Structure 1
């Protein structure tokens, strides 16, 4: 059910980015839903082509291009950089005349849970806004071949409106926490989701390996689950030039948490809401161990160095 809280006064400004590219079905559905509510000024600053799994890479050594494109009801630029580039440019007051109240990165085609958050360009778009002091949400839909369809992105966007509106109300009331951004994942059967669940980042991930291929092998679209959306070519090294070897990634298995966390609740059918910081702190047992280890290690190195002088 949509949040019925009315955001009074001037419309808040929401900026949207993603990593699937400006023509990705997730971002188009999200912008359409945001515009249709008539509650927001909608800006879009997104990559001009797919930038999945680029993590938080940024462009440094050369300029990036921004081209104005048309999406009804929004001010839109397609940018030749990464999701982090787009978020940074969009909140800089260089491309748009003002800083948005909220940045939303998504909707990604594929979930972003556990350790996959490290690889995700979608999450990086939100993280970059957060690093620049702008509240942010990353949104991903757990797309499954044979089960999902294009309309699910619209359902996912509509299901996120309570979260988006709730954040904007908190911002208006100056009660929103400033030390985190939100990572939202929506289940495959989003039309029948079980509700919203506050979760923690887990450790789930797809284990990847490599196989030797020919130079003209083409992979499929890379989902954030690290699984290709189309079958890749068979291994065949017969035409590989002698001076070069070519390798492609392949799935070798999965690491799945058994504890309560983002991935577990997503698979149970919940919309997961996971607060994230700029970086993830080491687990407490690692800190405890290293607190005892560090002075011993330093003493050992210093002691043996002195002995050998």
Structure 2
């Protein structure tokens, strides 16, 4: 067992999520890896890179065929950190995989994504990592698509582990992989860059605290899943009569330029996007502030006297 590469899987959809279950099942079936799982015990979509700081986490071992698995009442970043700490598993994993997420994680939505955060947390500690998301569309996608998505990622996973063994894999980035809705007929793998695609969000005052669904239950780029939400489904409770209820609503979609992650996924490609943890300002902004800061500090320093 020690001779096999160790892969640790996490996610943000919860340890029972079909994307994680499909990925773990495929990895275990190859009999090439030692598979471990450390994932949230409930859905943690949209939590970004938040962590549990002051409270202990009560970890429970769960049964997943072919893997050693633990459910954690924490965030994806918590799970990744715990899983690579050598306190839960006997050694540091060779590779951390976060996913497969229900919904794409492209563009600005990467900032909100718990899936991407799971991979980023491992990357911050120097452990190779990838995040995987599938562009789920209601009415078109099925659970079987997760298995197809896992299979499509297997060549990348095998190649990464081979490079890790040969000590040629770069450690200054991690990969964010997004698979198109029609993953069976994908057009191939495409190296992309993070784009600026984003759903334009707003707030709507509602009169019911009914089960209206989580608008951002997954960081998906789809808008059609909101069509059947009834904002006035039931009467307002006595408690909510003394307060105001507001709910997010989608007001538009900004796609972004070509050759970026989201655009490529919509074109039917598997987007492979190298990411880092650093955020750099645009060149023109840096130029502006380089000239702006000295003049501002001089002006305000003089006027303060």
- The TM-score with structure 2 as length reference comes to 0.93
Match of 1:105 in 2: 98
Map 1:121-136 onto structure 2 (within 5 A).
121-136=114-129
Contact 1:205–1:225 (Cα < 8 Å) also in 2:
no
Match of 1:80 in 2: 73
Match of 1:234 in 2: 231
**1:272 aligned to 2:271?**
yes
Q: CA deviation at 1:233?
A: 2.4
Match of 2:202 in 1: 209
Map 1:15-164 onto structure 2 (within 5 A).
15-164=8-157
**After TM superposition, which residue ranges in structure 1, 4 or more long, deviate above 4 angstroms?**
226-230, 235-238
Q: Secondary structure at the match of 1:115?
A: helix
Q: Secondary structure at the match of 2:248?
A: strand
RMSD: 1.7
1:213-262 deviations in whole A, cap 9, x for unaligned? 24522232512126574633224797364421111111111111133211
What is the alpha-carbon distance in structure 2 between the residues aligned to residue 219 and residue 141 of structure 1? 24
What is the alpha-carbon distance in structure 1 between the residues aligned to residue 139 and residue 147 of structure 2? 18
Q: Secondary structure at the match of 1:286?
A: helix
Match of 1:285 in 2: 284
1:142-197 deviations in whole A, cap 9, x for unaligned? 00111111100000000001111111111111111111100000000000101101
What is the alpha-carbon distance in structure 2 between the residues aligned to residue 43 and residue 189 of structure 1? 29
Q: Secondary structure at the match of 1:294?
A: helix
Equivalences, count: 298
Match of 1:255 in 2: 254
What is the alpha-carbon distance in structure 2 between the residues aligned to residue 112 and residue 198 of structure 1? 15
Question: Tell me, which stretches of 5 or more residues in structure 1 are unaligned?
Answer: 1-8
What is the alpha-carbon distance in structure 2 between the residues aligned to residue 259 and residue 152 of structure 1? 26
Q: Secondary structure at the match of 2:141?
A: coil
Map 1:152-191 onto structure 2 (within 5 A).
152-191=145-184
- The TM-score with structure 1 as length reference comes to 0.92
1:249-297 deviations in whole A, cap 9, x for unaligned? 1111111113321111111100000111113211111111111111111
Q: Secondary structure at the match of 1:108?
A: strand
Contact 2:10–2:79 (Cα < 8 Å) also in 1:
yes
What is the alpha-carbon distance in structure 1 between the residues aligned to residue 50 and residue 208 of structure 2? 26
**1:223 aligned to 2:218?**
yes
Q: Secondary structure at the match of 1:75?
A: strand
What is the alpha-carbon distance in structure 2 between the residues aligned to residue 253 and residue 203 of structure 1? 14
Contact 2:27–2:33 (Cα < 8 Å) also in 1:
yes
Q: Which is further off, 266-275 or 277-286?
A: 277-286
Q: CA deviation at 1:47?
A: 0.4
Q: CA deviation at 1:212?
A: 1.5
Question: Tell me, which stretches of 5 or more residues in structure 2 are unaligned?
Answer: none
Contact 1:109–1:223 (Cα < 8 Å) also in 2:
yes
